[in-house]
Amino acid sequence: MSERGPMDAPVEGAPLAGAGFAPEAAFLDCVHCGLCHSACPTYVELGTEADSPRGRIHLMHALQDGTLPLDAAAVQHLDLCLGCRGCETACPSGVHYGALIEAARPWIEERYRRPVTTRLRRGLALTILPYPRRLRLALAPLHFLERLGVLAVARTLLRQLPARWRYRASLLPDPLPAPAAVPLETPARGVERTCVQLLVGCVMPELFGDTVRSTLEVLARNGCRILAPADQVCCGALSLHAGDRATAVRLACANVDAFEPRAAGPAIPLVVNASGCGAMMKEYAALLADEPAHAERAARLAARVEDATELLVRLPLAAPRAAAPARRVAYHDPCHLAHAQGVRQPPRALLASLPGVTLVSMADEDLCCGSAGHYNVMHPDLAARLAARKVEAMRASAVDVIATANAGCALQLEAGLRAAGVALRVRHVLDLLADAYRG
């Protein structure tokens, strides 16, 4: 580990060890077999033990024991973890890596002062992204420039930049979709088959308005009456993954109140179309276990959460009948859908049911693309390398369309493709379904 620098010293007076963040047994579950290494995107890319799941577990254990100082190198190895949980899927010993890293991050935040530029970037992201009104304000000038045609010119110029900067510039959706307004209630089209609640989310309606509109349309066409409670807020995942557990708990409590059914009756599904949010809400019971006013209701809410693809397969899907040109489609697994929620087949089943679609396999389908919440903003260099790895797999699959079930992954994959100059479209499964219904 490297020496500590003046800008990244532990907070003055804070102990290096002190109260632990995880029970000792949680570390001892790891038998150091290394079977998780090939499933870890940072290990695959960097090849260093400290950037592997086993290395990070060892590192967190040593930090908790106080046998390793909390210095810049230790924090960097843990910061570079995407929280993708690919290692959990691969681990034969059932190590709950996600719970370990989520417990370690707030512990680090309390004890470690980051360089000022990192603090500024994190602060800006966490002050804006989870709050849709602030995000809308921040994006307003870009929408204005888009309307004037200035962004299109800027994008053309940015494509001439060296690859490192091309990727960063490509992270802005092209074109910037109009924000989505989600009504409090959307009626079913035709016969009502069920009533559902919908998590609108924080970033989704502002940055991925098209996918939100597709979600409403596809659910309604499948006989769902959709309720979007007005008081709902960000699920808290962005805050939790950045180590701000207190904010995550506050947001989760607000959602437990907002989604509380107003009348007695059978439990209705709470549908989510972003995999990180779905994974977070399915784990609200653990997050709010120490909140007496919310713990029980959080467990009931968590039991109702379903990814939109799970619900559509369960209904089952009203098959689109329109003829469509033959297309070869490959599917990229969002980490928080495949690894955190264990949802792999429903999106594939939906895609395979679409007229004209032949679903083909692709290398590394469930390896993280580098999106991971705001990871690609905090660690753009490594995120760009991970995106470039995916681009090679997408190119080799020789498909017409790449599908995924998470808008953040779609944005990241498209950024990688644009930076590499590869003309291939990435679409959310719900957008492809909506296209099929529209004929």
CB atoms within 10 A of CB 413: 23
Total residues in contact with ligand SF4, by rule CB under 6 A: 27
Residues 6+ apart with CB under 8 A from 296: none
Asked if 308 contacts 428 with a C-beta cutoff of 8 angstroms, the reply is no
Closer CB to ligand SF4, residue 95 or residue 329? Answer: 95
Among 10, 22, 27, 30, binds ligand SF4 (CB under 6 A): 30
Contact present, 348 and 418 (Cβ < 8 Å): no
Residue 181 vs residues 223, 285, 415, 419: alpha-carbon distances, Å: 20, 30, 26, 31
Q: Which is nearer to ligand SF4, 368 or 399 (CB)?
A: 368
Alpha carbon distance, N-terminus to C-terminus of the chain: 58
According to CB under 6 A, which one of 50, 63, 75, 81 is a site residue for ligand SF4? 81
Q: DSSP assignment, residue 188?
A: P
Contact flag: residue 36 with ligand SF4 (CB under 6 A): yes
Q: Is 95 in the site for ligand SF4 (CB under 6 A)?
A: yes
Can residue 41 be called a binding residue for ligand SF4 (CB under 6 A)? yes
* CA 306/CA 152 separation, integer angstroms: 38
| Shortest distance, position 40 Cβ to ligand SF4, whole Å | 3
Task: Out of 61, 77, 85, 245, point to the residue binding ligand SF4 (CB under 6 A).
Answer: 85
With a CB cutoff of 8 Å and minimum separation 6, the contacts of 65 are: 17
List the one residue from 14, 28, 31, 246 that touches ligand SF4 (CB under 6 A). 31
143, burial (CB in 10 Å: exposed 0-12, middle 13-18, buried 19+): middle
Which 44-63 positions form the footprint of ligand SF4 (CB under 6 A)? 53-54, 56-57
Q: Does 199 bind ligand SF4 (CB under 6 A)?
A: no
Instruction: Please select the residue that binds ligand SF4; options are 27, 97, 375, 437, rule is CB under 6 A.
Output: 97
Q: Identify which range of 25-33, 63-71, 159-167, 263-271 contacts ligand SF4 by CB under 6 A.
A: 25-33
Work out how close the CB of 269 gets to ligand SF4 at its nearest, in angstroms, rounded to a whole number.
28
Q: How far is the CB of 250 from ligand SF4 (least distance, A)?
A: 25
Choose one: 18-26, 38-46, 119-127, 243-251; the region binding ligand SF4 (CB under 6 A).
38-46
By CB under 6 A, residue 258 contacts ligand SF4: no
* 245 counts as binding ligand SF4 under rule CB under 6 A: no
- Give the other-Cβ count within 10 Å of 293's Cβ: 11
Looking at beta carbons only, is 12 or 381 nearer to ligand SF4?
381
CA pseudo-torsion sign 25, 27, 32, 38: positive
CA distance 274 to 199: 9
| Residue 288 binds ligand SF4 (CB under 6 A) | no
Q: Round the CA-based radius of gyration of the chain to a whole number and report it.
A: 22
The binding site for ligand SF4 (CB under 6 A) comprises 30-36, 39-42, 53-54, 56-57, 81-87, 90-91, 93, 95, 97
